[in-house]
Structure 1
Amino acid sequence: MTGAERMRKHRQRLREGTMPIVIDVDAVNLSAFLVAAGHLAADLAEDREAIRAAAEIWIARATCAAAYESVTLSRRALLKSDIDSA
Structure 2
Amino acid sequence: MTKTKKIPQRKCIACGKLYDKKDLLRIVNNKELGIVIDETGKLNGRGAYICKDKACLEDVKKNNKLNRVFKQKIDDKLYEEIEAYEIK
| The two structures share one fold, judged by TM-score above 0.5 | no
Higher relative contact order (CA 8 A, sep 6+): 2
Determine which structure has more spread, i.e. the larger CA radius of gyration: 1
If the TM-score is normalised by the length of the shorter chain, which range does it land in?
under 0.3
Please, what TM-score do these two structures have when normalized by structure 1?
A: 0.25
Larger relative strand fraction: 2
Larger relative helix fraction: 1
Please, what TM-score do these two structures have when normalized by structure 2?
A: 0.24
